[in-house]
Structure 1
């Protein structure tokens, strides 16, 4: 994985210019699929090798170069008209995410401090490359597999007679907001009724950027009166009614991070949005450690999560806790068993360290709950049989023969 070089948070951007920029990219039919950090570095290194004797001032760059590959470039080299380049760079400067440095010749080069990736027809903003800060907001191959798991879950639910209505769903460690927003989109496509989707995270930047991504997708914040009717208030950092949230740090005995945020004093106010075309579904953003944003009496129909799963002492943002990085995933399963309504579901995408001899510790943990009659295992599949192979050299994986990506769907009995 890309080594972390700083724990200093990057500047929090203003949202309006980023929403405008994203909508501009959509209008330009921009597309980009994010690859692994290792593959991304190879592509950048190969490009640098080709251009090592070329003045960057002579190199034209495209929107995909700037917002996907995330290259450094010089002003007036963006392959757009002068006015269009001015608009694009203006949005980045206004948002505070235009990075600058000097090249080997002492000339200024610039770069976008955010990337944009496409998933289906949707566009999502996430952190620049490499993801070097503890508050980085991630999107990559794991995200695409997570979305595939959510889609298959919704398709199955749509074809299940008398399936439980999704009253409240929460995406734990929502990051850029992809899981919850794609859930809402799939529910609309397949005719599954969902009242409210909560995006919860302890990384405030993730929540701020989820808000940008939601607005790009057509969501609009509800007014204060509507917020109150939905049970939301920012008084003393809590939410009342069905939706309520209490700002709390920590992660119930795991490694102290849900995705990658570390703020001791959260300032992101609980925010509710709707899409005018589907106003019956509310999207709610809230600072949340695990399920802390939802009071125990909340009727919880669905839990989604794509938690950190690496065994790491140097990468705070990817550390899944004990048991070869599986600790956070196990805690989410425990929470789901306790909090879901009967008939409710957990949709969990995670990485699993398969131990020597082929033992799968996640499957063993799930089997324990199944044998006790607490849950039904609806789906358990390896979505990728070999990931992060280079990590097997690390101390935390001494007894591991491979890492795999697993999609797990449980139903509360």
Structure 2
């Protein structure tokens, strides 16, 4: 790790000792909360590292300030300091990710999908065991939630994560170290850098239409479903017998039809896999439907697609 990475790791460890917690909401909720008159500047650590509010040095623990400074994660504007990172809690782990707003092309996102993805993994792995040498891959790991959650559930497995966004892979490495989970990290698209077969693959790909084409948000064609299909096409042939691909994504429902479900079913048949497909939430990100790109979409549903190779 670089000195800046070590500083962020030290920050996470100190925050863990202090029992820091922050549940990160959707960007829309975040924007509404910080627009309130009493949210113009930070009054607590959660305001600084959760809500990304500007702050004065007197508000923050000097040791936390030192770690942020060593990590080059502070910016000064209009006489106030801003943290360039947020820290969120999920179960008993802490995750560093990008500060709000996440407008940069390589922003590293963490939010409600992260919590739901973790819950899906726990539910699907509850009765699953993997011995030493079995291979797990978190594809497009983002901040590392999938790799960390499954690494703690299946400590004997060999866990790898892939990510096209170098900034995300950096944070994922730091988050895994803070969680005491051993992982290997591969910078590349989908399963580039992963050789051989896979016992369990996980993915929480972007699934929205994003005019800015931000890596964490833009799901490509098919109203944001393209990346989910591309991942399935690459991963399914690489699954071992009884191997599993746990996909958490979103689907644009048009005139009552779930086109993503149809495409994933076809891929399952092509690669001799069974597919369990269900809606986890029938209606999310409703504000997106005001965009012209969603003019024909009735709703965006969160889905779980569980592939298993026969």
Query: Same fold by TM-score, threshold 0.5 exceeded?
Result: yes
Q: CA deviation at 1:120?
A: 0.5
- Equivalent position of 1:350 in the other structure: 249
Structure 1 residues 62 and 292: CA distance shift in structure 2, 3 A: same
- Equivalent position of 1:111 in the other structure: 82
Q: CA deviation at 1:398?
A: 1.9
- Equivalent position of 2:137 in the other structure: 170
CA-to-aligned-CA distance 1:98-128 (integer Å, 9 cap, x gap):
11100xxxxx101111111111001111100
- Equivalent position of 2:192 in the other structure: 292
Distance in 2, Cα, partners of 1:50 & 1:87: 27
Distance in 1, Cα, partners of 2:297 & 2:133: 38
Number of residue-to-residue matches in the alignment: 308
CA contact under 8 A between 2:186 and 2:192: conserved in structure 1?
Answer: no
Distance in 1, Cα, partners of 2:269 & 2:237: 16
- Equivalent position of 1:24 in the other structure: 14
Structure 1 residues 201 and 373: CA distance shift in structure 2, 3 A: closer
Distance in 1, Cα, partners of 2:133 & 2:257: 34
CA-to-aligned-CA distance 1:319-370 (integer Å, 9 cap, x gap):
11111010010111111222212211110000100111x1011211232245
CA contact under 8 A between 1:164 and 1:301: conserved in structure 2?
Answer: no
Instruction: Kindly name which structure, 1 or 2, has the bigger radius of gyration based on alpha carbons.
Output: 1
Structure 1 residues 370 and 23: CA distance shift in structure 2, 3 A: closer
CA-to-aligned-CA distance 1:188-213 (integer Å, 9 cap, x gap):
4xxxx42x111111111111111211
Kindly report which structure 2 residues correspond to 1:135-154, keeping only aligned pairs within 5 A, or say none: 135-154=106-125
- Equivalent position of 1:382 in the other structure: 279
Q: CA deviation at 1:136?
A: 0.9
CA contact under 8 A between 1:165 and 1:301: conserved in structure 2?
Answer: no
Distance in 1, Cα, partners of 2:118 & 2:133: 18
Q: CA deviation at 1:169?
A: 1.4
CA RMSD, 1 decimal:
2.0
Normalization by structure 2: what TM-score?
Answer: 0.93
Structure 1 residues 207 and 63: CA distance shift in structure 2, 3 A: same
Normalization by structure 1: what TM-score?
Answer: 0.71
* 1:34 and 2:24 aligned: yes
CA contact under 8 A between 1:167 and 1:299: conserved in structure 2?
Answer: no
Kindly report which structure 2 residues correspond to 1:148-297, keeping only aligned pairs within 5 A, or say none: 148-158=119-129, 167-188=134-155, 193-194=156-157, 196-219=158-181, 274=182, 283-295=183-195
* Consecutive unaligned residues in structure 1, runs of 5 or more: 1-11, 79-84, 103-107, 220-273, 275-282
* Consecutive unaligned residues in structure 2, runs of 5 or more: none
33, 42, 64: which is aligned to 1:43? 33
